[in-house]
């Protein structure tokens, strides 16, 4: 609870955690510098792109000569599979809520992007549209998503690095880019033009530093102060930055702003064609606040 600074455990106390990653050496969110680490029974220091395939190989080897274990796993797979299918079907259904809302909902934007990239060998850089992409896209390879951003102003830079790493592989690197984050480092777009780094940038433009605006609303409610003033210093309108023009000014491809959901997919397809030519292409899509 961000307002009251209280915590509540969502997992049962018996829940065991196993972690593969870089958290232990503090290559993660800055908040890790100050917080207690999640207790884990096993914490493996590894890049998941290497660690998961290695773990899969080790498991397959163990399974090969243990038929009892194989059947136990098959049973569990069936049980979990049923639950999984139900949950995923519900997420698909939930995503249809407010389908025609303008500006677009996070869930519909996630699906519009998915329709454009699902037949490509894609990589998602940092933002997950508040987990909507995790519910609606199929993350079928370890390299699909290196992880979320490390805080405001880090996402465009991290995305450029991810795109540079994949340059020349034929993969389509997608950055779902919050407007506030790009405001901190607009020059990053020029770097992409200068060094010919292809990337599809889909603006998640809610015309706000909304994380903090939302917090001001929360605090206004708690303190009984004027909620209508919560946007001060937090909004990104009057005037609205024109990110399509910004991209073009830096030598990239840029379109938008687009606030009609039905106009987004054709724009994404045009931008994708530009990315395939080897450049950064930005589509400025206007989203709901949350």
| Residues near ligand TPP, by CB under 6 A | 151-153, 178-181, 206, 208-212
User: Which CB sits closer to ligand TPP, 163 or 208?
Assistant: 208
Closest CB to ligand TPP: residue number: 180
Yes or no: say if 189 and 241 are a contact pair by the CB < 8 Å rule.
Answer: no
Q: C-beta of 155: minimal distance to ligand TPP in Å?
A: 7
CB-side exposure of 208: number of CA atoms within 13 Å? 17
Maximum distance among all Cα pairs of the chain, rounded to whole angstroms: 67
Q: C-beta of 274: minimal distance to ligand TPP in Å?
A: 24
Yes or no: say if 283 and 272 are a contact pair by the CB < 8 Å rule.
Answer: no
According to DSSP, the residues that pair with 203 across neighbouring strands are: 177, 284
User: Which CB sits closer to ligand TPP, 159 or 206?
Assistant: 206
User: Which CB sits closer to ligand TPP, 181 or 274?
Assistant: 181
User: Which CB sits closer to ligand TPP, 132 or 206?
Assistant: 206
Give the pair of three-digit tokens for residue 222: 């708690």
User: Which CB sits closer to ligand TPP, 180 or 254?
Assistant: 180
Q: C-beta of 92: minimal distance to ligand TPP in Å?
A: 23
Q: C-beta of 114: minimal distance to ligand TPP in Å?
A: 19
Yes or no: say if 124 and 171 are a contact pair by the CB < 8 Å rule.
Answer: no
User: Which CB sits closer to ligand TPP, 15 or 31?
Assistant: 31
- Say how far apart CA 206 and CA 71 lie, in whole Å: 49
Q: C-beta of 12: minimal distance to ligand TPP in Å?
A: 31
Q: C-beta of 280: minimal distance to ligand TPP in Å?
A: 18
Instruction: Give whole-number Cα distances, 218 to 65, 194, 223, 229, 234, in Å.
Output: 56, 42, 9, 12, 14
Beta-carbon count within 10 A of 273 CB: 11
Angle at 132 between CA 149 and CA 180, to 5 degrees: 40
């Amino acid at each position: 609870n961000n307002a009251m600074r209280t915590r509540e455990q969502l997992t049962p106390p018996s829940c065991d955690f196993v972690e593969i990653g870089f958290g232990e050496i503090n290559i993660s969110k800055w908040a890790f510098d100050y917080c207690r680490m999640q207790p884990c029974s096993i914490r493996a220091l590894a890049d998941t792109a290497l660690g998961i395939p290695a773990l899969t190989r080790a498991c397959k080897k163990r399974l090969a000569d243990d038929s009892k274990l194989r059947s136990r796993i098959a049973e569990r797979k069936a049980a979990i599979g049923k639950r999984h299918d139900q949950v995923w079907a519900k997420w698909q259904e939930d995503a249809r809520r407010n389908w025609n809302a303008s500006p677009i909902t996070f869930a519909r934007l996630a699906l519009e992007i998915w329709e454009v990239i699902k037949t490509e060998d894609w990589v998602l850089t940092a933002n997950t549209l508040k987990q909507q992409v995790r519910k609606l896209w199929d993350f079928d390879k370890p390299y699909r998503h290196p992880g979320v951003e490390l805080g405001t102003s880090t996402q465009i830079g991290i995305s450029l690095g991810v795109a540079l790493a994949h340059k020349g592989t034929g993969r389509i690197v997608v950055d779902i880019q919050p407007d506030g984050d790009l405001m901190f480092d607009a020059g990053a777009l020029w770097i992409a033009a200068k060094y010919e780094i292809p990337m599809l940038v889909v603006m998640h433009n809610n015309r706000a530093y909304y994380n903090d605006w939302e917090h001001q609303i929360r605090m206004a409610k708690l303190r009984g102060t004027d909620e209508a003033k919560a946007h001060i210093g937090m909004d990104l309108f009057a005037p609205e930055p024109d990110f399509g023009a910004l991209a073009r000014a830096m030598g990239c491809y840029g379109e938008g702003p687009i606030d009609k959901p039905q106009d987004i997919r054709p724009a994404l397809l045009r931008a994708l064609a530009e990315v395939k030519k080897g450049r950064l292409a930005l589509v400025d899509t206007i989203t709901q606040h949350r």
